[in-house]
């Protein structure tokens, strides 16, 4: 589904990703872990097509198409979703407006009919229920005045509504208390743990992986994947720390 080969990327002339290769197939959850500054968020931004990130070498294909050739909205229409470490606030636009617009523009790009207001609200209610987010929150302006945990749950509601084939989730667990962590973890499973979908779960800590069991765990360090293993690798990291595991 996603194939990254020898990816090099830089910001402001500074090389951050230095030959990263990774292959993700449908039905798989891959966790990317790594110390601060390793390049985890940079990888998420490059996959999302954020301006300012320049790919200098290597390739990324998504369902066989050159991802780097696609605009961010084309990536979304092709089924890619990005969840960010710091979700943006959009004053003046309600969640419901924002999401209906996003969903319908993706449907249009795929040649599907737009959802009516009623159809959309039914879908939104279902997904908000899954994430235990009050519908009232969806009527408020996007993320404005939301707590850290509410922003993350709201983002997972967005994911549920957009129903992507591939999700890149950057530190979705940061700032969540234990109860919210469980809700978000179970939400990710309910929305994305399907044979035709895949997830790249970027996380600094093992705890989210107690809920969303990864098929593969990769350690990213200094812009490269330096080690790959199964779910046990994440536990080992938690017990022994990055330095020890990477040195072994």
User: What is the binding site for ligand ADP (CB under 6 A)?
Assistant: 11-12, 14, 16, 34, 36-42
Contact 231, 33 (CB under 8 A): no
The token duo for 13 is 């002339």
Residue 14's binding partner among ligand ADP, Mg ion, none (Cβ under 5 to 8 angstroms by kind) is ligand ADP
CB of 37 to ligand ADP, least distance (A): 4
87 DSSP 8-state letter: P
Residue 222's binding partner among ligand ADP, Mg ion, none (Cβ under 5 to 8 angstroms by kind) is none
CB of 14 to ligand ADP, least distance (A): 5
Q: Is 73 helix (H, G, I), strand (E, B) or coil?
A: helix
The verdict on 220 binding Mg ion (CB under 5 A) reads: no
Residue 12's binding partner among Mg ion, ligand ADP, none (Cβ under 5 to 8 angstroms by kind) is ligand ADP
The verdict on 172 binding Mg ion (CB under 5 A) reads: no
Q: DSSP letters along 92-143, please?
A: EEEHHHHHHHHHHHHHHHTTPPPPPHHHHHHHHHHHHHHTT--HHHHHSEET
CB of 10 to ligand ADP, least distance (A): 9
Residue 42's binding partner among Mg ion, ligand ADP, none (Cβ under 5 to 8 angstroms by kind) is ligand ADP
Stretch that binds Mg ion, among 41-49, 75-83, 95-103, 190-198 (CB under 5 A): 41-49
- The three state secondary structure string of 183-210 is HHHHHHHHHHCCCCCEEEEECCCCHHHH
Q: Which of 17, 20, 29, 40 binds Mg ion (CB under 5 A)?
A: 40
CA–CA dist 123, 83 (Å, integer)? 20
CA–CA dist 217, 48 (Å, integer)? 21
CB of 171 to ligand ADP, least distance (A): 8
CB of 220 to Mg ion, least distance (A): 10
Residue 34's binding partner among ligand ADP, Mg ion, none (Cβ under 5 to 8 angstroms by kind) is ligand ADP
CA–CA dist 135, 234 (Å, integer)? 35
The verdict on 41 binding Mg ion (CB under 5 A) reads: yes
**Please, which residue, 9 or 128, has the CB nearer to Mg ion?**
9
The token duo for 171 is 């530190």
Q: DSSP letters along 145-192, please?
A: T--HHHHHHHHHHHHHHH--SEEEEESTTTT--HHHHHHHHHHHHHHH
CA–CA dist 229, 227 (Å, integer)? 7
CB of 39 to Mg ion, least distance (A): 8
* Binding site residues, Mg ion, CB under 5 A: 36, 40-41
């Amino acid at each position: 589904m996603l194939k990254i080969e020898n990816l090099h990327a830089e910001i402001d002339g500074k090389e951050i990703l230095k030959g990263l290769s990774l292959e993700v197939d449908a039905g798989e959850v891959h966790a990317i872990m790594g110390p601060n500054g390793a390049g985890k968020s940079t990888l998420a931004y490059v996959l999302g097509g954020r301006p300012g990130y320049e790919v200098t070498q290597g390739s990324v294909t998504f369902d066989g198409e050159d991802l780097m050739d696609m605009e961010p909205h084309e990536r979304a229409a092709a089924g890619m979703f990005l969840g960010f470490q710091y979700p943006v606030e959009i004053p003046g636009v309600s969640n419901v407006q924002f999401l209906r617009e996003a969903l319908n523009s993706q449907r249009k790009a795929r040649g599907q009919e737009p959802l009516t207001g009623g159809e959309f609200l039914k879908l939104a209610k279902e997904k908000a229920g899954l994430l235990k987010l009050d519908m009232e929150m969806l009527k408020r302006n996007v993320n404005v005045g939301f707590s850290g945990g509410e922003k993350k749950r709201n983002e997972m509601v967005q994911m549920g509504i957009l129903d992507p084939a591939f999700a890149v989730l950057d530190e979705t667990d940061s700032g969540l208390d234990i109860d919210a962590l469980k809700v978000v973890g179970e939400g990710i499973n309910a929305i994305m743990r399907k044979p035709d979908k895949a997830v790249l779960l970027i996380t600094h800590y093992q705890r989210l992986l107690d809920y969303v069991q990864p098929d593969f765990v990769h350690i990213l360090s200094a812009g490269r994947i330096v080690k790959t293993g199964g779910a046990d690798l994440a536990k080992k990291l938690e017990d022994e720390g990055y330095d020890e595991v990477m040195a072994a």
